[in-house]
Amino acid sequence: MWIDNVWHGRAWSWEKMPWLMEQWKRISNGKPFCLNGIQYVADAEKAVELGVDGIVVSKHAGRQVDGACASLDALEKIVNAVGDKTYIMFDSGIRGAADMFKALALGAKFVFVGRLWAWGLSIKGELGVRHVMKSLLADFDILQRYRNYDGFILHHQEYNVI
């Protein structure tokens, strides 16, 4: 049945994390292990305690969960609790430069952009992705200048080699 491929019925637990991290380090030749879908300070603290290299504050497909807390609200609390102990990334609801700016201002070190590039891809392929990302970065640059802030470093070399 198709649902078996979507949901296997077994939830991951904190007890399984050391094994999972060990497997990841083995198969990735030691690349960083980052945990996605963190929404609560207690979970962020537990992840740091277990030794993750980074966490992604995200609803992780939370659009299916009615009433989930806003990821931006969670971000500030998590950064205050563990931001000096691990690398904090953000993913959820990024629709434009202002959303990126807010996440970075609240302490995220990296912001994932999911839907925007997918929209560009669906309309005009690689050219659409390039257009969307260049427009997003231009808007971000304008926003920084408007807010008289130039403290964010944008790493955009990656999308130039799509």
- What's the pLDDT tens digit per position in 128-147? 999 999 999 999 989 888 87
Q: In which domain, by residue range, is 61 found?
A: 11-112
Residue from 60, 131, 155, 156 carrying the catalytic annotation: 60
Residues 31 and 103 in one domain: yes
Instruction: Give the total number of structural domains in the chain.
Output: 2
* pLDDT, average across residues 67-94: 92
More confidently predicted of 113 and 64: 113
Q: Which pLDDT score, from 0 to 100, does residue 1 have? A: 47
Residues 104 and 118 in one domain: no
Across 3-12, 76-85, 110-119, 132-141, the highest mean pLDDT is recorded for: 76-85
Residues 80 and 154 in one domain: no
Q: 154: pLDDT confidence band, cut at 50, 70 and 90?
A: low
**DSSP for 54-117, written as a single string:** EEEEE-SSGGGSTTPPPHHHHHHHHHHHHTTTSEEEEES---SHHHHHHHHHTT-SEE---HHH
Reported residue count of the chain is: 162
The verdict on whether 60 is a catalytic residue reads: yes
Residues 30 and 93 in one domain: yes
Q: In this structure, what CATH number is given to the domain that contains residue 107? A: 3.20.20.70
Q: Report pTM.
A: 0.81
